[in-house]
Amino acid sequence: MTIVFHLARADNGVIGRDGALPWHLPADLKQFKVATMGRPMVMGRKTFDSFPAPLPGRRHIVLTRDRDWRAAGAEVAHSPEEALVLAGEDRGEVAVIGGAEIFRLFLDRADRIELTEVHAAIDGDATVPPFEGWREIAREDHPAEGERPAYSFVTLVRA
């Protein structure tokens, strides 16, 4: 099983604000869809709740401490180990998609990070620190367009 983080993070570490992305980058959303299609996704309850509906073509494994929580389209896990057992049924790549607490819980287990660097300081209430001990193996830079900030698609592997 390969564990891959998928996230967008502003230069100041922000990944979210009020339960949503604090930017709109259509290319990032498209890349996320392609990268996660057909794969089990592990996420926290707040991340799951941020979707208008479960995303088609992907399993939604939701990690929550609430033993009574249930939602249509969600497979519930109460520990990282439980989430990986559920995801492991596929024996392939597992997409860990957030939020910040979920990234912290899985950091020691992650094999690769697919990161969209949003080149701006954005106000937000969810942050992820820089990834230390990782090596960049790919980068694709994109300029700012109108109100949209510049961004880079970056792939990191353990150093």
CATH of the domain at 61: 3.40.430.10
Q: Are the C-beta atoms of 63 and 43 separated by less than 8 Å?
A: yes
Pairing label, strands 74-77, 59-63 = parallel
Tens-digit pLDDT string for the chain (159 aa): 999 999 999 999 999 999 999 999 999 999 999 999 999 999 999 999 999 999 999 999 999 999 999 999 999 999 999 999 999 866 789 999 999 999 999 999 999 999 999 999 999 999 999 999 999 999 999 999 999 999 999 999 998
Count of domains observed in the chain = 1
Please tell me the predicted confidence (pLDDT) of residue 127. Answer: 96
* HSE, side-chain direction, 13 A CA sphere, residue 19: 9
Let me know: does 4 contact 93? Beta carbons within 8 Å. yes
Position 94 scores a pLDDT of 96
pTM for the predicted model, two decimal places: 0.95
Pair of tokens at residue 157: 């592997």
Domain that holds residue 36: 2-158
